[in-house]
Structure 1
């Protein structure tokens, strides 16, 4: 699927963008394009196009700092932009806010419980149930699935799941033996809905539903 592949490509690009890792209280953005909110989110300026704001994160990543949830959402928006007509992107996501899981309703994010049946481009979560309360930014890691047992997570980069688990385990409560683990939650946008805004129409596209999921080829 085109959008799935675009989200994977966006995650790979974000891993090499220079985006810095910080909690919300130390977040940073290019304020020529974004307003930094008091909560640590990025809201697109009224005189800036959302598409340009998203692209800037990838070309000037060093100007930006955020945590893992916002980073994964940025990858999704960049994937959508790569597959959507730009005027539609700017219209659908006007007033765009990048902050944790506060996503635009037009992404129509869906949550399903079955991480064993996940696909490249899906968003997953590694939980760290016994995280050190003095280091709460490591309570878990939001990731984009790249391929089998390969994930993009900020700030880990593109690594196997075992690397993320080991990294989270280093930030557990002192003396804890409770390991981090991959949760069953699988999050993905509404591919069928977003396909109507595709940059290049293709009459050969096939729409199908398998179980609770919709697909576009």
Structure 2
């Protein structure tokens, strides 16, 4: 369910201002969720929908790219944009705009190899790049380092307990009895794409059962405990990043006949 704290009068049924299909699916998921999502205004809601859609698209694009899975020791990158450090991380070269360096991962993907946590961070950065002003991106992330879950504080990575997730959320599959010889398979960081599908670097786009089955094949001999999906989600800070948004189309939340809108004071509520 969605709660918008201001401008409830602008909530109404409309066909002419409906969202693109990828964004409409996310709007539908927000409205249908048993979790209450609260926004100060419609524009911040609009930004989150747009950014979530771009996270999903960036994950699909990375899955289709020629970037490979590799543990840190064997990671690789395009040296024109990045310096590979002794840990296997990628440090932005001096004078290189971070927007160009992130974009290059998707343009010259065959030059890159990294593990699953770095892949998720790359997806987040690419989605943010596609949603906020480019000059703001270059200013916010001018000391970019891609290494495991190391992220710039302006990305605002947050992890919280929850059994409910939306397209664009990062979820973790834990493999409690992984093979010690391949510790990289102790779990898999994934992006939820919607429609029951997840992207995990090194595994690809799979259902929940597909991710679990892939991890179970990486368990130690005699293992009896299955891999499983943790009840936690990891997200960027949508509210903070929204202040750097590129201009978005005028927004009036497109209700469908199956949506119920109510008001309480200055707040509007949307649910299925």
With normalisation by structure 1, the TM-score equals: 0.91
Query: Post-superposition shift, 1:204?
Result: 4.2
Query: Post-superposition shift, 1:202?
Result: 5.6
Query: Post-superposition shift, 1:188?
Result: 0.5
SS of 2:150's equivalent in the other structure is coil
Structure 1 residue corresponding to 2:225, chosen from 155, 164, 178: 178
Separation in 1 of the partners of 2:129 and 2:114?
Answer: 20
SS of 2:243's equivalent in the other structure is helix
Which structure's relative contact order is higher, taking Cα pairs within 8 Å and 6+ residues apart? 2
CA RMSD of aligned residues (A): 1.3
Aligned residues: 205
Residue of structure 1 equivalent to 2:200? 153
SS of 1:151's equivalent in the other structure is strand
SS of 2:192's equivalent in the other structure is strand
Residue of structure 1 equivalent to 2:76? 28
**What do the CA deviations read for 1:74-130 (whole angstroms, capped 9, x no partner)?**
00100000001100000000110111100110011111111x310000001000011
Greater Rg by CA:
2
1:141 and 2:188 matched:
yes
1:194 and 2:231 matched:
no
Residue of structure 1 equivalent to 2:213? 166
Separation in 1 of the partners of 2:103 and 2:184?
Answer: 26
SS of 1:134's equivalent in the other structure is coil
Stretches of 4+ moved more than 4 A in 1? 201-206
1:106 and 2:148 matched:
no
Structure 2 residue corresponding to 1:128, chosen from 175, 179, 184: 175
Name stretches of at least 5 consecutive residues in structure 2 with no aligned partner: 1-48, 254-272
Separation in 2 of the partners of 1:77 and 1:191?
Answer: 13
Name stretches of at least 5 consecutive residues in structure 1 with no aligned partner: 207-217
Separation in 2 of the partners of 1:80 and 1:205?
Answer: 23
Query: Post-superposition shift, 1:199?
Result: 1.2
Separation in 1 of the partners of 2:57 and 2:151?
Answer: 20
Residue of structure 2 equivalent to 1:96? 144
Query: Post-superposition shift, 1:11?
Result: 0.3
With normalisation by structure 2, the TM-score equals: 0.73
Separation in 2 of the partners of 1:205 and 1:126?
Answer: 37
